Structures are given as structure tokens and as C-alpha cells.
Amino acid sequence: MKIGISAFAADGGKSGISQYMINVLRRLPQPEAGVECVIFVPAAERTLFEPAPAGSRIVTVPDWMAHPVASILWHLFIYPLLLKQHRCDCAYLPAGNRRLGLWYGVPSVSTVHDLSQLHVDGKYDPLRMFYIRRVLPVMMQKLTRVVSVSESTRRDLVEHAGIRPERIRVAHNGADLSGFAATSRPGARETIARELGIDGPFILYTARLEHPGKNHVRLLEALVLLKERGRLTHRLVLAGSRWNGAEVIEERIGELGLTNDVTLAGFVENRLLPELYAAADVFVFPSLFEGFGIPLLEAMAAGTPVCAASVSSIPEVVGDAALMFDPVNPADIADQLDRLLHDAALCQDLVSRGRRQAQRFSWDDAASGVLRQCHEAVAA
């Protein structure tokens, strides 16, 4: 079986979807089992998928085709021709909540990470919201098989996109946790102080600076409440690249008088992530909606106690290994952070639970789920 893969929307390796694409596509080809892959990728992002694993070939397309409008047209008209030209047996689109076609000429499979645009108003501009809310669901219905990264997303696909349940397989995301568990806290703090200039105790939130979806503003409001109570003993470190609405978050930091209490670390390279998590005393995750939430796995694997929103897929990912809060209630966020910051026994219990929970997820299992759907699609 030869799988033709659209590797558009890789975000330069700076998003959860990009990490999914890189890790799953690395594991899909199995030449000994007769599984080959052809990866179609914009030229600027080719290096994200190099070196190509055995049984895989990379075909670059001009970068201008990655522009949102050009990308839509590429998937509608050019992708089917390339699948035919390269004699592919199946089409696979690993970012189906962003780009799909209507017809492929071969059986088709896509991973849908979330339908957050149905739950978070103002996530994108009106034109893009129309495309995602009205056009993409129609395209999803044309797919032969669908992979969902969580039960939460599967429910949305059935309820809001009209996908028949028997066509959906849940294959949870994984995370590359090999370097996380071995990182010591004292050594990590020294590294982070040297590399990022972050010293002293801190609370960590890793997510792109996106408003309102990632819910930074309510987290900042919770920080103000802790400060007013005299219970704020840590800085807040926000690690992530700027995205839609980043300026709102930056302005709110100043308006709330938190300039000296918040560090904007920007995008942090993968090589430093194990140390960043291990150096933090608490990891907080207030996102309003997540298809999965890979940072939760990374924090738990690093031995950092987690405090997270009780919405969408997040409870599914953390199990009983985190304190949960209502993400639209800054007082509740503050209360749960206060508990973790001042209860060493609770932290240690969550650390133990978190390490066990993180081991339940792997990229090998995620790739196996995709491959099973491809086989089923071709056999259908």
C-alpha cells in the first residue's frame, strides 16, 4: 500500500499539530510490510520531515501553495492529480481540521484534532471561521475513514460534523517523553536560568499566545487574585510563539499590573522543553478547548504537578493526575493554584500519578491507529 500524504499546516514545527505530523509520519512507512509513503510538503517545511525514513519519499511543492487560499485550491485540484501521478492507494491528511479536499480519486483518511472553532467564538477572522464551520464539515463527510485524537473530538465529529461513528477510530496523541523523566530539578533550574534567563520559582504555561482560545487572560486575572491574597510566591512563565490575539494578552499583563510577575519566554526549542518543565514548580493549563493537549503529557512525564481546565479532552488526558478547575472562573483557577503552591504532599501525589498517566500514551500507538484506518479505507 502506498499512502500519499498532505503535510500542509506544519506551522514550522511550533504547534501541537506540527508535532503530531512529524512524529506520526516518521512512523507510518513500514517497507517490510509493504507500506510506502509519499509526503507532499511546502519547500520551506521540508526539513521538518528529514531525513525521510525508509519507505518514505518527500515531494516538495512551491511555498506559495501554502497560502490559505492557494492551499485550499491545491487540495481541491492538484492533490488528486499528484496521488494519481505517484500511483498512491490511499490519501492521508494529518491536519483534517485545517485542510481537506472534496475528492481524491482514491480512499481517503484524515486525522481531525479538534473542532475548537465550534466552541471558541472569535478564534479566527470571519471568513476563515465560515470555511472551518461550514465548508470543512462537508469535506469531512467525504472521507472514507477518520482518525480522532480523543473521545472528546470523536463526539464532536458525530454530533457536529455528521460523521458516522463506525467510520471514526480514536487514536490518542503521544509525546516523545524519553528525555523528560531523567531531568533533575536542580540541574534543570540551572539550565533554564542560563539559557532563558528565568530564575527563581515559577508556574509554567506552555501554549501559543492565542486569545481567546488559550485563555491566558483569565489566568492573569487569577494571578491578580493570588497577589491580592498575599499568596503569590511564584512568577508565571508563558512559553509559546505569538499567535492571533497575542497583543491582547501582552496589553492585559500591563493593565493588571503584572509586568514584574509574568515572563514571556516566547517559543522554546524542543531541546530545552524537558528542563523547562522540570524547573517549574507547577504546570497550569487553562485552555478553553483542546483536541488533546500534548503539553499535559510532557509536564506529567517531567514530574511537574499539573493544574488544568476541566473541559473538552483535558480530563481524558490527565485522568486522576491533576487538580481541575473551571477555566472561565478566575477565582477557581486561583484556588487550585493556591492549593498546589502550598501543599507539598498533594504535589508529590500528583507527580506520582502523573508519571504513570503519561506512560499510557505513545506515538507508536498513534501511528498504528492511522495505519489501521488506511488499511480499512483501502479495503472498504
pLDDT, one tens digit per residue, over 217-240 is 999 999 999 999 999 999 999 999
For residue 56, give every residue at least 6 positions away whose Cβ sits within 8 Å of its Cβ, in sequence order, or none: 25, 28, 29, 36, 37, 38, 39
3-state secondary structure labels for all residues of 306-356: EEEECCCCHHHHHCCCEEEECCCCHHHHHHHHHHHHCCHHHHHHHHHHHHH
Residues 134, 37 share a domain: yes
* pLDDT tens readout for residues 259-288: 999 999 999 998 999 999 999 999 999 999
- The whole-angstrom separation of Cα 139 and Cα 361 is 29
Q: Is the per-residue pLDDT at 304 higher than 80?
A: yes
Q: Comparing C-alpha atoms, which of 285, 299, 141, 302 is closest to residue 213?
A: 285
The fraction of the chain above a pLDDT of 90, given in percent, is 86
Q: Is the per-residue pLDDT at 101 higher than 80?
A: yes
- The whole-angstrom separation of Cα 35 and Cα 276 is 38
Domain assignment present for residue 153? The answer is yes
Residues 366, 351 share a domain: no
Residues 221, 369 share a domain: no
SS3 237: strand
SS3 301: helix
Q: Is the per-residue pLDDT at 247 higher than 80?
A: yes
Q: Comparing C-alpha atoms, which of 377, 380, 379 is closest to residue 93?
A: 377
Is the CB of residue 284 less than 8 Å from the CB of residue 262?
A: no
Domain assignment present for residue 9? The answer is yes
The single-letter code of the amino acid at 257 is G
Residues 295, 346 share a domain: yes
- DSSP-derived pairing of the beta strands 108-112 and 90-93: parallel
Q: What is the pLDDT of residue 125?
A: 74
* pLDDT tens readout for residues 114-162: 988 777 777 677 777 787 778 888 999 999 999 999 999 999 999 989 9
SS3 358: helix
Q: Give the relative orientation of helices 246-255 and 216-229 as an angle to the nearest 10 degrees.
A: 10
Q: Between the CA of residue 119 and those of 108, 111, 133, 291, 352, what are the distances in Å?
A: 27, 19, 11, 11, 33
Q: Which residues pair with 145 in a beta bridge?
A: 109
> Could you tell me where the DSSP H helices lie in 110-259?
126-130, 136-141, 151-160, 185-196, 216-229, 246-255
Residues 342, 375 share a domain: no
Q: Which residues pair with 35 in a beta bridge?
A: 30
Domain assignment present for residue 109? The answer is yes
Q: What is the pLDDT of residue 136?
A: 86
Is the CB of residue 326 less than 8 Å from the CB of residue 347?
A: no
SS3 193: helix
- The whole-angstrom separation of Cα 68 and Cα 35 is 31
**Average pLDDT in the 317-337 region?**
98
Instruction: Please report, for the domain that includes residue 77, its CATH number.
Output: 3.40.50.2000
Residues 371, 353 share a domain: no
Number of structural domains found in the chain: 2
- The whole-angstrom separation of Cα 163 and Cα 146 is 9
Q: Between the CA of residue 236 and those of 39, 58, 258, 282, what are the distances in Å?
A: 40, 41, 9, 10
Q: What is the pLDDT of residue 294?
A: 95
Domain holding 33, by residue range, is 2-174+362-379
Q: What is the pLDDT of residue 251?
A: 98
Residues 351, 367 share a domain: no
The fraction of the chain above a pLDDT of 70, given in percent, is 99
Domain assignment present for residue 168? The answer is yes
Residues 153, 119 share a domain: yes
- Alpha-carbon torsion 135, 140, 141, 143, what sign? positive
| Neighbour-count burial of 159, counting CB atoms closer than 10 A to its CB (0-12 exposed, 13-18 middle, 19+ buried) | exposed
State the chain's mean pLDDT as an integer. Answer: 94
Q: What is the pLDDT of residue 35?
A: 97
Look at the block and give the residue holding cell 518527500.
58
Residues 76, 224 share a domain: no
Q: What is the pLDDT of residue 56?
A: 97
> What cell was used for 4?
500519499
Residue 38 Cα to chain centre, angstroms: 24
Residues 343, 222 share a domain: yes
Domain assignment present for residue 159? The answer is yes
Residues 297, 372 share a domain: no
Q: Is the per-residue pLDDT at 212 higher than 90?
A: yes
Domain assignment present for residue 252? The answer is yes
Q: What is the pLDDT of residue 116?
A: 83
Domain assignment present for residue 264? The answer is yes
Q: Is the per-residue pLDDT at 53 higher than 80?
A: yes
Domain assignment present for residue 179? The answer is no
> What cell was used for 296?
499535559
Is the CB of residue 321 less than 8 Å from the CB of residue 300?
A: yes
Residues 332, 223 share a domain: yes
Q: Is the per-residue pLDDT at 373 higher than 80?
A: yes
For residue 333, give every residue at least 6 positions away whose Cβ sits within 8 Å of its Cβ, in sequence order, or none: 218, 219, 222, 284, 286, 307, 325, 326, 327
Q: Is the per-residue pLDDT at 98 higher than 90?
A: no
Q: What is the pLDDT of residue 134?
A: 83
* pLDDT tens readout for residues 349-371: 999 999 999 999 999 999 999 99
For residue 46, give every residue at least 6 positions away whose Cβ sits within 8 Å of its Cβ, in sequence order, or none: 58, 60
